[in-house]
């Protein structure tokens, strides 16, 4: 009887661990055996390659838990049995700085394993919690750098489990495979060189990032702008911040900031959203939110569709209307910027319609919102 009880406890414990994600065996089949870690030494393109199994771009710095800086290229130097050193050039207020990070891990036959966090507590059948963040660094079957990036933040209380976990295979090529103009640092200034190492854009910038979508982000005298491969300024060097990582339907747009005000500019330098808003968020939605003072509106990758005149707004979701509140009144606003006075649906209407909210528009009240309304009280 006692033996059966122990087996039951063990089985239940394993079930709880597995069901909430706290028990996990990481994949190693993509790695090949490496005789010497130094065979991985080299300068790498810091953005991962897209593969069939992983279509999302990854950052080599983020793999190493560096989230507050960006670099186009990172140099990795390994030393047996358990050490890797990262070096890269980063932007700062005082100029270009060389960063260095040395990490130690555990050497395996196929990879070097490094933990950034490793916490777990467990009371059988009652409670468990886990916080694991680690990477495995090795070589894939094509001879390129492979980093398996894994995190697990989960747990359970009795039979109730929650949390999240992920495992990504990130493949990186060496910098000699980079195609395009190469950022070049000469006498404290940045320019660009071609594949023959000939300067094609003079070193006159304080910092630059590599070209992407035929545009590059450059900095001079503390201000950022965008240039094309001829060195022509597409976006003038007048912004305090330019973030080029936001995508809408995979079409890049630039989130820009000047004097603590935000706007959006497209790849051709056209202003999509004027640089006058205090916040622009949820850019991963087709209709993202704009905030001006304590008022809200919406924009798209083409224009401002709803000026920021509402004290509260919901989200469009699958509806053609968004519920918005202004001066204590509830309105519906469509994607063309028309506002409607509302009334509540009656029960019989709700029963036979696919409702996303409780209001319906009074069509006769339709009016076009004026852009300048957001500047008046």
Q: What 3 state SS string does 263-301 have?
A: EEECCCCCEEEEEEECEEECCCCCCEEEEECCEEEEECC
Residues 195 and 272 in one domain: yes
Across-strand partners of 84? Answer: 78, 103
Q: How far apart are CA 198 and CA 128, in angstroms?
A: 59
Q: Is the pLDDT of residue 31 over 60?
A: yes
Q: How far apart are CA 51 and CA 173, in angstroms?
A: 12
Residues 9 and 154 in one domain: yes
**Which are the contacts of 324, defined by CB distance < 8 A and separation ≥ 6?**
296, 306, 310, 312, 313, 314, 330, 331, 332, 333, 339
Residues 233 and 326 in one domain: no
Residues 60 and 146 in one domain: yes
CA-based end-to-end distance of the chain: 77
* pTM score, whole prediction: 0.81
> In the structure, what pLDDT confidence band is assigned to residue 283 with cuts at 50, 70 and 90?
confident
> In the structure, what pLDDT confidence band is assigned to residue 122 with cuts at 50, 70 and 90?
confident
Residues 89 and 65 in one domain: yes
Q: What angle do CA 139, 43, 104 make, to 5 degrees?
A: 60
Mean pLDDT, the chain, rounded, equals: 86
Q: Which pLDDT score, from 0 to 100, does residue 23 have?
A: 41
Q: Is the pLDDT of residue 198 over 60?
A: yes
> In the structure, what pLDDT confidence band is assigned to residue 29 with cuts at 50, 70 and 90?
confident
Q: Is the pLDDT of residue 377 over 50?
A: yes
Residues 109 and 9 in one domain: yes
How many separate domains does the chain show?
Answer: 3
Q: Which pLDDT score, from 0 to 100, does residue 320 have?
A: 87
Q: Is the pLDDT of residue 192 over 50?
A: yes
Residues 36 and 53 in one domain: yes
Q: Which pLDDT score, from 0 to 100, does residue 22 have?
A: 41
Q: Which of 152, 176, 200 is the last residue of a domain?
A: 176
State mean pLDDT over 349-355: 52
| Domain ranges, residue 273 | 180-277
Q: pLDDT by residue (tens digit) across 143-190? A: 999 999 998 888 776 656 677 888 889 999 999 999 899 999 999 999
Q: Which of 277, 301, 324 is the last residue of a domain?
A: 277
Q: Which of 262, 277, 292 is the last residue of a domain?
A: 277
Residues 191 and 67 in one domain: no
> In the structure, what pLDDT confidence band is assigned to residue 18 with cuts at 50, 70 and 90?
very low
Residues 165 and 198 in one domain: no
Q: Is the pLDDT of residue 357 over 70?
A: no
Residues 187 and 211 in one domain: yes
Residues 144 and 99 in one domain: yes
Q: Is the pLDDT of residue 2 over 70?
A: no
Q: Is the pLDDT of residue 201 over 70?
A: yes
Residues 136 and 47 in one domain: yes
């Amino acid at each position: 009887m006692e033996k059966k009880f122990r087996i039951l406890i063990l089985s239940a414990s394993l079930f709880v661990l597995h069901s909430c994600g706290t028990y996990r065996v990481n994949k190693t089949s993509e790695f090949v055996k490496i005789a010497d870690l130094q065979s991985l030494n080299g300068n790498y393109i810091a953005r991962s390659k897209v593969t069939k199994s992983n279509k999302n771009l990854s950052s080599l710095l983020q793999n190493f838990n560096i989230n507050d800086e960006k670099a186009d290229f990172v140099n990795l130097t390994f030393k047996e049995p358990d050490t890797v050193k990262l070096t890269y050039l980063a932007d700062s207020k005082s100029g270009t700085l060389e960063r260095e990070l040395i990490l130690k891990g555990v050497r395996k036959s196929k990879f070097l394993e490094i933990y950034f966090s490793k916490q777990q507590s467990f009371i059988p059948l009652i409670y468990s919690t886990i916080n694991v963040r680690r990477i495995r660094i090795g070589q894939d079957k094509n001879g390129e750098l492979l980093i398996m990036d894994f995190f697990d933040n989960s747990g359970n209380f009795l039979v109730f489990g929650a949390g999240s976990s992920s495992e990504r295979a990130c493949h990186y090529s060496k910098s000699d495979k980079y195609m395009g103009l190469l950022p070049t640092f000469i006498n404290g200034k940045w320019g660009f060189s071609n594949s023959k190492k000939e300067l094609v854009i003079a070193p006159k910038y304080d910092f630059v990032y590599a070209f992407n979508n035929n545009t590059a982000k450059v900095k001079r005298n503390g201000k950022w702008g965008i240039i094309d491969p001829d060195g022509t300024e597409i976006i003038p060097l007048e912004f305090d911040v330019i973030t080029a990582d936001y995508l809408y339907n995979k079409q890049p747009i630039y989130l820009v900031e000047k004097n603590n005000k935000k706007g959006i500019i497209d790849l051709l330098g056209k202003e999509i959203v004027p640089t006058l808003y205090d916040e622009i968020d949820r850019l991963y939605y087709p209709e993202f939110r704009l905030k001006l003072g304590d008022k809200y509106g919406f924009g798209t990758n083409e224009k401002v569709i709803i000026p920021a005149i509402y004290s509260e707004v919901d989200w469009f979701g699958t509806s053609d209307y968004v519920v918005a509140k202004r001066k204590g009144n509830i309105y519906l606003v469509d994607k063309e910027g028309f506002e409607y006075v509302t009334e509540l649906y009656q029960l019989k209407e709700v029963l036979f319609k696919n409702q996303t909210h409780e209001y319906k528009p009074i069509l006769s009240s339709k009016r076009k919102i004026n852009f300048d309304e957001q500047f008046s009280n």
